Structure 1
Amino acid sequence: MLNALQIVTTVIVGLMVGVESSVAFVMNPIFTALPDDSNQRARSHGGRMLGAVMPVWYIGSLALVVIWAVAGWDHGGAGLVVTSGALLILSVVMSLLLLVPINNRGKTWTPENRPADWKQQMKRWDRYHYVRVAVIVAAFTLLVTALA
């Protein structure tokens, strides 16, 4: 049973890393290359769509890691799993304090009502997101290492 939990947790966290990496290194650069109205609309739509899904994914991933840490406490790699959980907590805190406020504003913007500094706010979101991606990649790497 522990093996199944480890595999499911690793796959779910890995998929989250993949989606967030895609946003950082593929989707947002594509959106930025579009004309301003299309760029802003794409980011607003992405903010609404992913803003609804990602909280469940982050919290669900963290819950699975906590269950793994408790269930596997007497097994090898428990320290790595706990550290991974701490990094996932950091990613959730970063999201709530840094990224969500910007996303909540941005997902309501249209070409008619966006603020003059919308590009600067999106660049700030991108910078915070790069750091968050690095944190969740580290968490994922620790989980994979714990399996080895």
Structure 2
Amino acid sequence: MLNALEVFTTVAVGVMVGVEFSVAFVMNRILNALPEDSRQLGHAHGGRMLGAVMPVWYIGSLVLVVVWAVAGWHHHGTGLVVTAAGLLILSVVMSLLLLVPINNRNKTWTAENRPEDWKEQLNRWERWHYVRVAVIIGAFTLLVAALT
């Protein structure tokens, strides 16, 4: 049963990493190449779509990793799993404090009501997102290492 939990958790976190990596290095580049109105509106739509899914995915992944750490407490690699949990906690805290506030503002903006500094806010979101992606890649790497 522990093996199934380990594999399911690793796959769930890995797919989350893939989605967030794609947002950072594929989707944002596509959206940023669009004309201004389309750029911001595309980011707002993506924020609404992923903003509904990602909180469940981040918290769910963290819960799975914590269950893995508890269930496998006396097994090889538990220190790596606990460290991965710490990184996922960091990613959730970063999201709540740094990324979600910008995303929540952006997803309500239209061409008529967006602030003058909207580009700077989106750029700030992207910079923090790169850091968050690095953090969750670290967590995923630790989980994979714990399997071996």
TM-score, normalization by structure 1: 0.99
Corresponding residue for residue 119 of structure 2: 119
1:52 maps to a residue whose letter is A
Identity of aligned residues (%): 76
Gapped regions of structure 2 (runs ≥ 5): none
Distance in 1 separating the partners of 2:110 and 2:143: 40
1:81 maps to a residue whose letter is V
Distance in 2 separating the partners of 1:47 and 1:31: 12
Show CA shifts across 1:110-145 (max 9, x none). Answer: 111111110000000000000000000000000000
Corresponding residue for residue 64 of structure 1: 64
Structure 1: 4+ residue segments shifted above 6 A: none
Show CA shifts across 1:10-47 (max 9, x none). Answer: 00000000000000000001100000011011000000
Query: Superposition RMSD on alpha carbons, in Å?
Result: 0.4
TM-score, normalization by structure 2: 0.99
Q: Helix, strand or coil: the match of 2:109?
A: coil
Show CA shifts across 1:41-100 (max 9, x none). Answer: 100000001001000000000000000000001110000000000000000000000000
Distance in 1 separating the partners of 2:43 and 2:24: 12
Gapped regions of structure 1 (runs ≥ 5): none
Distance in 1 separating the partners of 2:63 and 2:113: 38
Corresponding residue for residue 55 of structure 2: 55
